[in-house]
Amino acid sequence: MAPLSAWGPVAARPFPFALLPAMNITVNEDLRAYIDPLTPEEHDALERSILAEGCRDALVLWGDVLVDGHNRYGICTKHGLPFQTVQNTRFKSMEDVHLWMIDQHLGRRSVSDFQRGVLALRKKEILTTRAEAEVKAKADAAAAAKAAAEAATPVTPPAEAEPAPAPLTPEERAEVAALASREALARAARISPATVAQIEKIQKLAAPELVEAVKQGAVSINTAATVATLPVAEQVAAVGEGKKGLQQAARQVRDSRKKEREARSAEVVEMLSEGAAPWDAEGAQDGPREGESPEDTITRLLATVAGLRQERAALQAQLAALQA
C-alpha cells in the first residue's frame, strides 16, 4: 500500500478521512468484551476492506473512551492509517453506553441468533433494573417527605447520599413495556419465543465450555439447551467429544425424557382405569376412629372425598396433557 504522502490532496484520496490532532483514546476492556468478538475470518475480511478502502466509519467515543470501533481502531493503529471519531453526547452513564451498543448490534445482520437473544435479554435486564430503581427512589422520597411532614422538619439529604437514578425516558418506558413478555423479547431479537427460552436455559445452566461452543457455532441452540440440563461434568465431556458427542448427549437426554413421559402416562392411565383409583383405597374407606364422634367422622370423610376428587381432576388433566 502506498504511503500517505503519496495519496495527493484530500479530494483525490480514495476515501474520506480527517487527520486528527494528537489525542488519547482509552480502550475499556469491559466494553471491548461486552459484545462477542469477530471470528478470525471476519476480522481478516475487515482488515482487507480497511486496507483497500480505508476506515470509512467513524469511531464512536464517550469522552476519550472508545465505545464502538475497537476492531477498526486496532487495525488502523497497526497499519498507521487515519480514522475519524465522533462524540456521542447522549451518553450519561455506562448503562447508556451498553444500551446503545446493544441496539447497534441488534441491527446488524451478521449477529447470530444466540447473540441476538443474549443482547435482547441484557437490554431487558438493564431497562427493568432502571425502572425498579426509579420506582424505589420515588417511594423512598415520598416516605422521607411524609416523615418530614409528620415531624414538621425539612428533609436534609445525607452528605454522602448516592445520586438518584436517572429517570427513564419515554422511549425507555415504552421499551420496558415492549420487552415484558417472552414473545415481545423474541420480536425485538428477531428470533422465536422458543429460542429465547432455550437461550435463557443455556445462560442459567450451561457450563462455560458449552456456552463457548454455542458462540462458535459448533452446536445449535436447541442442542445446547438440551445438553445444559446434564451435570456440568457431563456437559464438559460432551463438548470435548465435539459436535457428534454433543448431539449424542442431547439424544440421550431426549430419549430419557420420552421414557419418563411414557411411564407417567401409563401410571395415570392405570390409576384412572376401571376399578382403580389414584389414592389409598384403605384410607378412602376409613370408618370411625377411636374416640371420634359420628359428626367428626362424617366431616373428616367429606374432606377426604373432596381432596380425592381434586386429585382425580388433576390427574385427568395431566393425562390429557401427556396425550396431547
Mean pLDDT over residues 150-161, rounded? 59
Between 173 and 219, the higher pLDDT residue: 219
The residues that bridge with 26 in the sheet, in sequence order, are 65
Q: Is the pLDDT of residue 52 over 60?
A: yes
* CA torsion through residues 16, 35, 213, 219, sign: negative
Is residue 66 within a helix (H) or strand (E), and if so which, with residue range? strand 65-68
pLDDT at 61: 93
Q: What is the pLDDT of residues 178-217, one digit of tens each?
A: 566 778 888 888 899 889 989 999 999 999 999 999 998 8
Q: Is the pLDDT of residue 133 over 60?
A: yes
| Burial zone of 294 (CB within 10 Å; 0-12 exposed, 13-18 middle, 19+ buried) | exposed
Mean pLDDT over residues 257-282, rounded? 63
For residue 112, give the nearest of 205, 31, 47, 202 by alpha carbon: 202
pLDDT at 65: 94
Max mean pLDDT among 13-27, 108-122, 138-152 falls in 108-122
Rounded Cα–Cα distance for residues 129 and 116 (Å): 20
Mean pLDDT score of the chain: 79
| % residues pLDDT > 90 (the chain) | 40
Q: Centre a 10 Å sphere on the Cβ of residue 215 and count the other Cβ atoms it contains.
A: 17
Mean pLDDT over residues 233-239, rounded? 94
Domain positions in the chain are: 4-89, 92-155+165-205, 207-275, 277-323
Q: Are 211 and 202 in contact (CB under 8 A)?
A: yes
Q: What is the arrangement of strands in the sheet containing 65-68, beginning at the earlier edge strand? A: 65-68, 59-62, 85-87
C-alpha cell at 191: 428470533
User: 312 falls in which pLDDT band (50, 70, 90)?
Assistant: confident
Q: Is the pLDDT of residue 286 over 50?
A: yes
Class of CATH domain 4-89: alpha beta
The residues that bridge with 60 in the sheet, in sequence order, are 68, 86
Q: Is the pLDDT of residue 255 over 80?
A: yes
